[in-house]
A = this chain, B = another copy of it.
Amino acid sequence: MIRLLFITKNRHKVIEAQISIEQVGLGKFINLELLEIPKLEIQSDDLKEIAIFAARNVYKRLEERKAIVVEDAGLFIESLNGFPGPYSNYVYRTIGIKGILKLLKGIDNRRAEFVSVIVVIHPEFGEMVFEGKAQGYIAYEAKGDKGFGFDPIFIPKGHSKTFAEMNIEEKCRYSHRGAAFRALARWFASKLKDLQPLDKVSRDRE
């Protein structure tokens, strides 16, 4: 069993991450626990750079060598040159969903991408980076009240509902965060298989 401290203030993210891991049958392998401590986020156009810096800084400050995970995510809108990107949280808190819809008024290209980058630092396995993307479109109006942030205006490709109209399991199936955490889960599962006899792994999985 791998225990990871998820450094975030956002409980939604931890729940989504855990559900995503369970969706690939690896919920018994990996356990996430929320740890709310200050996280140093740098300004950068690159989510990876932000997440790696934050993870290393947190790890350095830990009193005990424990495995941690840090996520940085953003909504990148094509016709706005990637805005709001790494600053999605700030933009959500200031101009919000209304501001994004106003900026896109009269613009036909609604293509957008949600990106999640997660960085794990593990005392034994070292540092790893996983990325998940969800391609889609910005809706013409906000719909749904589930999820958080810009979920009410993001429709994943091939669907008609926004993330905020989906229940959490459905959102995780298509979301950037879901993809990133499933990649993380699979990586750890393959590592554990190498380390343990296979029958032990099968038992744990039940």
Contact = CB atoms under 8 A, between A and B. Distances in A.
Interface string A31-63: 000000000111101000010000000000000
Interface string A67-94: 0000000000000111111110011011
5 contacts: A40-B42, A42-B43, A82-B94, A83-B99, A87-B90
A66 interface: no
Interface of A: 40-43, 45, 50, 80-87, 90-91, 93-95, 99, 102-103, 105
A42 B53 CA distance: 10
Contacts of A103: 95, 99, 102-103
A206 B95 CA distance: 50
